[in-house]
A and B are shown apart, each in its own frame.
Chain A
């Protein structure tokens, strides 16, 4: 039509004309034609009133409104760019290299932005060791930017004489600066911040402190200070945290160290773990974990030793003595064997002693290829220093130091907090030396264990300034809260591992009236420089010092390249071996502490999602099932099944926990595989003023800690008679003899690659689907998967998955498209644990497709099972017929979120309305994007062009996605491996997701359960830890024991 309506100026172009008016190009005619044919929704009627079709539309709309009384699609105006910003193409993502920094943990980031707003985080492929992997908090960090409870401008708290908050009033920067400058000029201005790996920032802070007669103290709840200091026994001082070289290790003995999840460097460790747990490439690294709580690393171990916190020292000493005597090393080390007694029988625990000898001989067997780790949070008991000494001794005499442990080439320098420094600062505060205190990026009041002591000291400080984003625990005792920019709004630079520098780029201009902390400092010290100038200087000096290494002739070129890459790796060759440092310390003869009769040892731990509580207001994290307990929205006291039985406790029973100087009521959770004398509680909960999500969730247990000792704490507890419901996404914990996760040992695997898998004879009356183009498929290697759950958050971020809250989780209405099923086998006291990520299996014979009455879920020509949201009427038949139960239903209008949280939504993925079914799409938008890109570049799709969010973020490379019709693709190769099996093969739905048998490096025979002998009975199944009746999730496993029938 456009040609004939005369939009061209030259009437000669009109081959055919309607009338002479048109031939003349008469404007009146043009208008007439436009009116006649352009009654599209875009047309604007000049004379007002309603167009014919508009009238029909309005009538229909009012009818719909009148009939149902609910607005389905509110009218929203879309305003196009008048002048398009140069870098923004609407509908096309921009990627920025940046950095995620959290209390010393530094990871490379690539931030995806759409129309100027960050929507997704991924790891940076150039970041050494870690690559594109990203942990849970890194993924969730994006939501903290859009936190609706963030402070939007500086505020002043009108503190009363008791220094509690009377009222909060808003202020402005000029007023605050004026007031504070006068205060700072009185001297004694101190700065306290979280571990700060930014050299430029530290320098500015230091010059501020120097100018105003104060000091700068860094502290972080995970400072590892004692660990760093303990290296003095190896003749080292000023040590950084060593880097683990799991690639070089064949045997790891870990004493209470969660090195795969919550300890420093977990992501890099996890990557190496993934590489070393691939039986196709050789014998998997063997992990023996000795611990009292069930940590994620513990669930991944080949053998797990359960002991109480206060047995750690005696146990590791016992091992060290055995190793030393075998290697002919003399030592004054003694082991308090009486600590290794079985507390029930009061006799030396044969099992633990035998275990110690076994570990010792295994360590010797793997000399120079072994690794002893003992720095984890569970070990932070009163013997911490001695335990470190023994561990260093072991690593030294076994030759692990320098071989499997990198202490010099590229250790972690980003963890800088100092407990001693903080204690000194508190001392100065009490003395009145500290006149004003600037607290930066650290919620010290919440995190510091002795809160009363700190609050008392803070009262003596005349002016307290806080740069946090909320009026939280620390904020409410501060005079001024001057909110710092969010790290996605701000420039910065960090050094993570020694010699590895990263840049933090702002990806959005500050959403609110916030100011970067460093800019404020520069202003206060009267510097003319901007924060960015200072950063440039740092980079310039770095560039000038390493000009030849950079490969660029000018700084400008280098700078552009740096911004593109995000990382500058100057660490050089990181994997050369060094000789072990000689051990030069001597051991104290310590007697292990004994808990009183009826008392327990409390171990405080951090959950992978909530961590220290900094991101507690991020709902994704609150609703992420704990990788081990699968509990959401709560912390609790973990107790062993036998303790529960003895004390007649059930999950959800509230007990009063009494420590030496602190007590708190906590619900109990029965955790299989936990030591019966130990109880555990997660930090990071019980926040106040942190925001609507975090406030009132769980209890703060920080104050149970004794100084910086957070494990082996003497507590007792008693029933209160109260009961609360603990929301759990998985209530049944055993596989009930079904072939769900197959396991085998490496020995069995070597004999038969398919060992552990019981193959079913299946046949179909129907012909198979033919996939002539692509056939998308995914392989999940259960040998590699650690269960860390980062993929769950990545998926949530990528696919706009809503959060539903505790109440709905109790009702079984979680929305995650990918979930990690966790099963126990063996006895509840000491179970073996497996993790299995389950997402839509995209079955070839998908049961969901046939039963949908409206064809809302259909099979694509590329093997994916596509969900058509706008066609779905919500019969939920598909979910019922799904054997994997991976479909999620929008019971309410979950997608309606508080502004500005909606800015985190990914525009490439439909936001689902109420009453619609949803599920994993294999990131179909990425598939389409990848295909389009390849087409634009006029090339074929390459393997690896398309990677779903879960695959990218996976810390151990357990997930591989690709085209099964491409025989050279990684996924095709994985599918050809003997370890690959189909989940629920016998119902012949032919899933496109295949799992790979978990291979453990153990002497135990594991393949027998489903092996050639058919379905055997799983030993002791059906009774591990299914006592939790406190929630609505099904948990009545005790009566579910049954014989597996023959197939």
Chain B
């Protein structure tokens, strides 16, 4: 590993510097820049609440969904956010198990991103239903309706389990990782005599004293959680893909969906991490020492790899559609690329397959503005991927008499844009109130790449 030769953390920091750098951000008064960002994100969140309120209060019909396109941007955006949530678990669990030390600087934020993305995603299936106030019926809870139970054959139910499990594990994983850092903050608060902070962090740190036994338990829990959540990386999006793959609709009914969705999710997740890290590096210049260009480059490599995997899936779908000889399937794919929604298909191809190829050039994958723009393109492309799958398959299926078109309405755009408001509000709150880089995990890797290291 060439990375081992380079220091992971720049600036030749001592453990004390690390604590100081990271904890200071939480302790200091919010920066004006942050305040503005939060205010604008909050406005978007408020707007989102109004839009969702209208949809729930007046009817699903406010959105563009229709007959035959029964699933619209709600599902598209849901899958988009769930996909975003993938990188978190991958970075914290899979890379942890593979002992990839470079993950330490970005793991916390990636996990936070996961939690917030899953939270954002979770709203969409609910507002997408016709009667959101009854969405809890999707949970198999004991009820007074006789033997009435949920339908375990429905992929949507699997979805409920997959997403709720993933959300729970991600939150626990994130929180467990935070415990030592909360303890650090608690101790510092006590020292400075900040009572409220001391109380809050004291409660959050669950009595962590940094004893060896604590560390041993912590490491074990972390390992177990990592092992538990590794399969989730594969399962969540596989199951989300079942929503489509299990249906018999041409364009949905393909076996390639689970791996293809997972690759796509990792792809978009990493792109979102790059976007956020770039923003953090801008907002908090000090973090440039922790989230270095090397980190960014590594993530860009993953983006390029998964991008090519996704590209392979696109090609493979077409091949199978032709090879299967099913005329409905064949038509669905021709319609995707050359039908009325050709623009969405080619947007997807351009953003997901073509643009990430720029990362073959070292200079480009180490160029912050370039990677920022590319990561945004990737996320646009990934949103369109779900749009293409959902809308273009539904709008023309078996009987031509049913064919119809789908147009986004104000509420479709509103919910999509508003969801970013929710996500960014949560993320900005997180940056301000929670140590955005794991103090405890960064310290052990301070020596990496240094001469005469451990």
A residues apposed to B, CB below 8 Å = 64, 67-70, 730-738, 740, 808, 811-814, 819, 821-823, 836, 838, 847, 850-855, 871-877, 879-881, 883-885, 887-893, 913-917, 983-984, 987, 989, 1015, 1032-1034, 1036-1037, 1039-1040, 1042, 1044-1047
Contacts and interface: CB of A to CB of B under 8 A. Distances in A.
> Would you call the interface of chain A mostly helix, strand, loop, or mixed?
loop
Contact of B339 (A731, A872, A1039): A1039
Interface in B358-416: 394-405, 407
Interface of B: 56-61, 64-71, 125, 128-135, 137-138, 148-151, 153-157, 160, 243, 246-249, 325-328, 330-331, 334-335, 338-340, 394-405, 407
A629 to B, nearest CB: 13
Contacts of B135: 873
A1045 B327 contact: yes
A877 B156 contact: yes
A731 B67 CA distance: 13
B122 to A, nearest CB: 15
Given A880-B70, A891-B61, A1040-B339, A732 B325 contact: no
A556 B340 CA distance: 70
Given A876-B70, A876-B130, 12 more contacts: A732-B400, A732-B401, A738-B327, A871-B137, A873-B134, A884-B398, A885-B68, A891-B65, A914-B130, A916-B131, A1034-B404, A1034-B405
B61 A734 contact: no
Contacts of A731: 403-405
Contacts of A1046: 325
B302 to A, nearest CB: 33
Contacts of A822: 401
Contact of B58 (A890, A892, A1036, A1047): A892
A812 B67 contact: yes
Contacts of B132: 915
21 contacts: A736-B400, A740-B399, A811-B61, A811-B407, A847-B247, A850-B153, A850-B246, A851-B156, A872-B130, A873-B130, A874-B131, A877-B71, A881-B247, A883-B397, A885-B67, A889-B67, A891-B59, A914-B60, A915-B129, A915-B130, A1042-B327
A700 to B, nearest CB: 31
B154 A851 contact: yes
Contacts of B125: 875
B67 A879 contact: yes
B149 A855 contact: yes
Ranked 7 nearest A-B pairs via Cβ? A874-B130, A915-B130, A891-B61, A821-B401, A812-B66, A876-B70, A915-B131
B128, B149, B327, B401 pick with most chain A CB within 10 angstroms: B401
A853 B150 contact: yes
A1042 B339 CA distance: 12
B399 A838 contact: yes
A67 B151 contact: no
Contacts of B335: 1040
Contacts of B57: 68-70
Nearest to A836: B401
Nearest to A1047: B325
B1 to A, nearest CB: 46
Nearest to B61: A891
A325 to B, nearest CB: 47
A699 B371 CA distance: 58
B216 to A, nearest CB: 43
Nearest to B325: A1045
B248 A847 contact: yes
B421 to A, nearest CB: 22
Given A874-B129, A876-B71, A915-B131, A1015 B154 contact: no
B438 to A, nearest CB: 38
A281 B399 CA distance: 31
B325, B327, B339, B395 pick with most chain A CB within 10 angstroms: B327
Given A813-B67, A915-B60, A823 B401 contact: yes
Contacts of A983: 399
B401 A838 contact: yes
A304 to B, nearest CB: 21
Nearest to B70: A876
Nearest to A70: B57
Nearest to B63: A891
A783 B143 CA distance: 51
A821 B130 contact: no
A1032 B129 CA distance: 24
A889 B130 contact: yes
Contact of A888 (B65, B67, B133, B243): B67
A806 to B, nearest CB: 14
Contacts of A813: 61, 66-67
B137, B154, B407 pick with most chain A CB within 10 angstroms: B154
Contacts of A1032: 404-405, 407
